[in-house]
Amino acid sequence: MERVSGVWVILVWIILVAHSSQRISANMEGDALHNLRANLLDPYSVLQSWDPTLVNPCTWFHVTCDNENSVIRVDLGNAALSGQLVPQIGQLKNLQYLELYGNNITGPIPNDLGNLTNLVSLDLYLNNFTGPIPETLGKLKKLRFLRLNNNSLSGSIPMSLTNITALQVLDLSNNRLSGPVPDVGSFSLFTPISFANNLNLCGPVTGRPCPGSPPFSPPPPFVPPATQSYIGANRPTAAIAGGVAAGAALLFAAPAIWFAYWKRRRPLEHFFDVPAEEDPEVHLGQLKRFSLRELQVATDGFSNKNILGRGGFGKVYKGRLTDGSLVAVKRLKEERTPGGELQFQTEVEMISMAVHRNLLRLRGFCMTPTERLLVYPYMANGSVASCLRERPPSTPPLDWPTRKRIALGSARGLSYLHDHCDPKIIHRDVKAANILLDEEFEAVVGDFGLAKLMDYKDTHVTTAVRGTIGHIAPEYLSTGKSSEKTDVFGYGIMLLELITGQRAFDLARLANDDDVMLLDWVKALLKEKKLEMLVDPDLQNKYIEAEVEQLIQVALLCTQSSPVDRPKMSEVVRMLEGDGLAERWEEWQKVEVVRQEIDLCPSRNSEWILDSTENLHAVELSGPR
């Protein structure tokens, strides 16, 4: 008995220690975030929920935690914050995403950010940070996105950044950096890198020699050897003179030879970066240009067994490159028109510049007289649509937390296309089949930019409707004119797909006398207060009802018939993060009540129109009724 009681004491002690350490960790993270709040000016009370009396910061807006209540994400982009970062932020040991872009934060970037060894994305662009880039950032081995552009950073670029092998995006443009630029060959071959608009940078990449280094110049002119009679007259002296001359020539030519060798080592033959005199319009930087033969070999001659999917833009094939990496090759379906090559190149360049962790990154392309192909990374978990409706029986369904992450991630990707691309990119076919999932089931928006890419041949038609029935916004269907609000409508339908597991348009619902359109079917069930019948049966009641209601509310706000009434995608992101949904939903319900009353008592000769100020106006309608 004593031995058993001793075991129980040990177990209780272990549980208490674990609970205590968890509380200490939560306290430490909460204190760190509270210190951050105390050093930031918050004119719009974005940080109002950051209550220091609460031990666990996981209940705060703009803070995301994992299942163990550790902070993994801080999203404060475009929040009009000013002030400075604090070193204590380095205590968030499990932080994966730090989003502080688009504010007016000043002062240095703390060296303590180098302690965030789990960091995947560090977005500090569009602020006013000063001082050097910390060398400690080189310790962030998991970092994939590092964007420090559009600040006032000074000093040199740390060589330690070349140690980050996972880096996919590096943008240091529009700062005040100086000194030599690290050899871009030290970074990953496909890492988009930008050092532009740093006037004091130097080195081969910039075309400006660094002080104290030999200038980039061609080797000195070749000096012909002495005449035969001279050599014959004094052979030893001529040999010595020739050796000295050759040595001097080699000494002066060494920098040029090194530079030529360095240029030769760079795999420029793989990139569409031809000399200006051959094609002055093509400047696609580090976007790889594949040969058709490469992609034929990778896809086994575009074999049917490698088809991943078919769509309005063409077929997608699974391929394996010579380096062993898996890719998805999209073979575009189009009619060839003269003069289309330049426009194709321009649109490809635009697509390649949209880089965000929730957007499918264009890896390369291939263009021949008969083919147009785009090459993307292979997404191991397919699309949301395939996971919802085409998964093998042995594969578990998407659980509710994963579906929530997909909703938020895809919203962030679309918001980036609308608000951070210049010119903005309208997707025009947002649906579950175009939301892909990487190895960690992170949402990645695919097929963006392709509608524009495929429309370049329509020189006199600019209103061709592209999309999928059930996802197309009513104004797009009637006018053919798309905007970011048509994407918002498609996103709302995609949310309903996530919640219900059903197709946006399904004739099979007719068997139960239900609406074939998913939106109408959902509204009918909501009217009958049958929320439980909406939720995907695959979830087996393992969901939080309040969260389902919130996602449905966001979906209905996004699918309003008037595009003016729909929120922007940036507003959708905030609502999904818990900011402003209740107020927006309350306003919407007031409007719906008035509209229902109008529908019950319509006027014979006029229609009542509710404007954005919630005032009713009678408008006479001409023509037959």
Cβ atoms of 581 and 550 within 8 Å: the answer is yes
CA pair distance 177, 161, nearest whole angstrom: 15
Burial class from Cβ neighbours inside 10 Å (0-12, 13-18, 19+) for residue 183 reads middle
Which entry of 75, 112, 429, 487 is annotated as an active-site residue? 429
Residue with tokens 């189009």: 334
Closest CA to 141 of 188, 109, 82: 188
- Residue for token pair 């659980």: 399
Crossing angle of helices 400-419 and 569-576, in 10° steps, is: 150
Does the active-site annotation cover 455?
no
- The closest of 86, 98, 87, 84 to 40, measured between CA atoms, is 84
**Residue in the structure block whose two tokens are 């175009």:** 434
Q: Please state the φ and ψ torsions of residue 73, each to the nearest 5 degrees.
A: -155, 135
Determine whether 481 is exposed, middle or buried from the number of CB atoms within 10 Å of its CB (0-12, 13-18, 19+). Answer: exposed
Structure tokens given for 377: 């990374």
Token pair recorded at residue 221: 């002119």
Q: How are beta strands 606-610 and 616-620 bridged, if at all? A: antiparallel
Report yes or no: 17 and 24 within 8 Å, Cβ to Cβ.
no
Binding-site positions read 330
Query: Which has the closest alpha carbon to 530: 520, 522, 542?
Result: 522
Distance CA(616)–CA(442), nearest Å, equals: 44
Write out the two tokens for 45: 């009370």
Closest to 493 in 3D by CA, of 463, 457, 514, 517: 517
Q: Which residues are annotated as a binding site for ATP?
A: 330
Nearest to 410 by CA among 487, 510, 491: 491
How many residues does the structure list for the chain?
A: 625
Q: Is the dihedral of CA 40, 44, 47, 49 positive or negative?
A: positive
- Beta partners for 288? 271, 364
The packing angle between helices 545-558 and 569-576, to 10°, is 170
Hey, how many other C-beta atoms are within 10 angstroms of the C-beta on 311? 15
Contact 194, 214 (CB under 8 A): no
Q: Which residues are catalytically annotated?
A: 429
